Amino acid sequence: MQNEVIFAGFGGQGVLSCGKILAHAAMEKGLEVVWTPSYGPEMRGGTAYCMVIVSDKLIGSPVTRNPHNLVAMNRPSLEKYAPMVKPGGIILINSSIISIGSGRDDVDELMIPVVDIAQNAGSARAANIVALSAFVARSKIIDFDLLRESVKEEFAKKEKLIPINMKAMDEGKKAAEN
Nearest distance in Å: CB 177, another protein: 28
Using CB under 8 A as the binding rule, the residues of this chain from 19 to 58 that contact another protein are 20, 23-24, 27, 32-37, 39-41, 58
Using CB under 8 A as the binding rule, the residues of this chain from 3 to 22 that contact another protein are 20
In the complex with another protein, the residue whose CB is nearer, 28 or 170, is: 28
Using CB under 8 A as the binding rule, the residues of this chain from 104 to 163 that contact another protein are none
CA distances from 119 to 80, 122, 124, 158 (A): 27, 5, 4, 18
In the complex with another protein, the residue whose CB is nearer, 62 or 103, is: 62
Cα–Cα nearest to 69, from 61, 77, 60, 57? 77
Cα(89)–Cα(134) distance, integer angstroms? 14
Instruction: Out of 45, 46, 62, 103, name the contact with another protein by CB under 8 A.
Output: 62
Nearest distance in Å: CB 19, another protein: 8
Cα–Cα nearest to 112, from 86, 84, 141, 137? 137
The stretch among 60-68, 70-78, 108-116, 170-178 that binds another protein (CB under 8 A) is 60-68
Total site size for another protein, rule CB under 8 A = 22
Site residues, another protein (CB under 8 A): 20, 23-24, 27, 32-37, 39-41, 58-66
